[in-house]
Structure 1
Amino acid sequence: MPAMGNARVEDVAEGTVDQLLSVAERLFAERGVEQVALTHIVAESGQKNRSAVHYHFGSRAGVLAAVMNRRLAPINARREALIDALPQEAAPLDIVRATIAPLGLAVVEAPWGADYLSILAQVTFHPRLLGEQGVDDALLSGIRRTKRRLAQVVPHIATSFVDQRLRWLIDSVVFAMARWARDTPKARQTPAAMAALIEQLAAYGAAGLLAPDPTPGDLKP
């Protein structure tokens, strides 16, 4: 019987955490992370215990990290699966598509997709919002694999350039997809429309990654 009781307590705690994260996610997307206090999350979730958020997450940065990790987990898993499906001789365009597609597909397939992109765009522009929390490094494994695959297919481009350009690419893709999710009428947010956007962004990204170094010879390190 005690074990049964403990299981029920754990279920209640898990349900509370899930509810708090869902409310926080919605508020962060609707109002902006900086405009949402822990008290707002508690009030909107209907929790009677005002210290519930602080108890589970410690701070707003802790809540934000938990929100992002919860959604990044399936996105990273899908990214890994798409990279796994690539042939060994995959072109840069294929690698870029596999990397960015999970973000766009979340918008049209998951009820939380648009909110996550809105929050991701805010954090991309203001990394300080996460404080020292950061996201779970294990959930960035797909991005690390992208870097390795790109380094294999563009050996003529310095690794430092590939890393830098990939960061620029991901930043611009996040903002472009978040803007698309915000400004495109829901009726037009179809899988076909997102597929077209993914193809355009993948082509743009691959071209940028492959561009020659424009730095004049006398200014190169």
Structure 2
Amino acid sequence: MNLARQPSAGRGGTTRNELKRAARRLFAERGIAAVGMREIVEAAGQRNAAAVHYYFGSKDDLLRELVVEGADLVDAIRRRMLDEAEAAGDVRLRDVVRALVVANAELGGETGESETYFRFMTSMQTERRPMFDEWAGGEHSEGYGRCVAHFHRLLADVPPALVKQRVLFAGLSLRTLLAGREAARDEGAGLDHPYWGEPVATEGMIDAVEAILTGPATRA
């Protein structure tokens, strides 16, 4: 996988990470188009005005790296959880939904992905949808594809077109919830918050996604 330029050892790697953290936050809070390269440099506390160009190339190269790194982190957790569920046998719908949700809710990362990734992705979907679809799919979403296959198998009594629609709605709802949780935590919501604390938030999101997938159909 070729993710623009790779970080060099020592200070170069630190600077690169600082730029990614600053850029993702600015994109998450203000949108893609509203943020310039110089603003990213200043937010990262760097003096070289060409730092983003030096480490990443173009703005699109930077965006791609931010999208792909987060997608790979999420999918690695999802694949591991699915592997464990499948190895145990008798995979239940709740197991698959949990893998779908937890992989996002427990996103780690070294450059602040857990702080801003889903608001950033919302900006990408809104402003750069073709790029989002290209960069976040394929090899970066193997685990998601496995979840969808399980949903179709486990919801075999639901028309396939309706399952597809519900999976889409569930995914959109989950990303909105995750973005809302990020914003709430930025505003000071702690682990004991009645809605956004843990494990309340994660279990609530699992319940919400499962409800979307299994709710009664109101049309033929």
TM-score by length of 2: 0.77
Task: Give the aligned residue type for 1:186.
Answer: G
> CA separation of 1:195/1:46 partners in 2, compared to 1, >3 Å: closer, same or farther?
closer
1:22-57: CA deviation from partner (whole Å, max 9, x where unpaired): 221232233333321122223333555544423554
Distance in structure 2 (CA, Å) of the matches to 1:136 and 1:44:
30
**Which residue of structure 2 aligns with residue 202 of structure 1?**
206
Structure 2 unmatched ranges of 5 or more: 1-6
Q: What secondary structure, in the 3-state scheme, does the structure 2 residue paired with 1:33 have?
A: coil
Q: How far apart are residue 152 of structure 1 and its match?
A: 1.9
Alpha-carbon distance in structure 2 between the residues aligned to 1:203 and 1:132: 27
Partner in structure 1 of residue 219 of structure 2? 215
Asked whether the equivalents of residues 69 and 136 of structure 1 are also in contact (C-alpha less than 8 Å), the reply is no
How far did residue 94 of structure 1 move?
2.2
203 and 141 in structure 1: CA distance in 2 versus 1, 3 angstrom threshold = same
Q: Is the 8 A contact 2:37 2:52 kept in 1?
A: yes
- For 1:189, the equivalent position in structure 2 comes to 191
Q: Is the 8 A contact 2:73 2:107 kept in 1?
A: no
For these two proteins, the number of residue pairs brought into alignment is 207
Match of 2:4 in 1: none
Q: Find the aligned partners of 1:136 and 1:152 in 2 and give their Cα distance.
A: 22
Residues 62 and 133 in structure 1, CA contact (< 8 A), matched pair in contact too: no
Aligned-pair identity (%): 22
Q: Which residues of structure 1 form unaligned runs of 5+? A: 1-8, 217-221
Q: 1:129 to 1:116 in 2, by over 3 A?
A: farther
Matched-pair contact (CA < 8 Å) for 2:27–2:35: yes
Which runs of at least 4 in structure 1 moved beyond 6 Å after TM superposition?
none
Kept in 2, the 8 Å contact 1:124–1:171? The answer is: no
Letter in 2 for 1:28: F
**Per-residue displacement from partner, 1:177-211 (whole Å, max 9, x unpaired)?**
21122125535235992322222222222222123
State whether residues 173 and 201 of structure 1, in contact with CA within 8 Å, keep that contact through their aligned partners in structure 2: yes
Most deviating of 190-199 and 110-119: 190-199
Structure ID, larger Rg: 1
Which amino acid in 1 is paired with 2:166? R
Shift of 1:99: 0.6
Distance 2:37 2:137 in 1: 22
For each residue in 1:145-194, what CA deviation from the matched residue of structure 2 results, as whole angstroms up to 9, or x when unmatched? Answer: 10111122122223333232112111111111211221255352359923
Give yes or no for the alignment of 1:103 onto 2:107.
no
Between structures 1 and 2, the one with greater helix share? 1
Partner SS, residue 135 of structure 2: coil
Cα shift readout 1:111-135 (whole Å, capped 9, x = no counterpart): 5312112212323444438478633
**Residue type at the aligned position of 2:101:** I
Q: Secondary structure at the residue paired with 2:17?
A: helix
Alignment correspondent of 2:176: 175
Choose 180-189 or 78-87, whichever is displaced more. Answer: 180-189
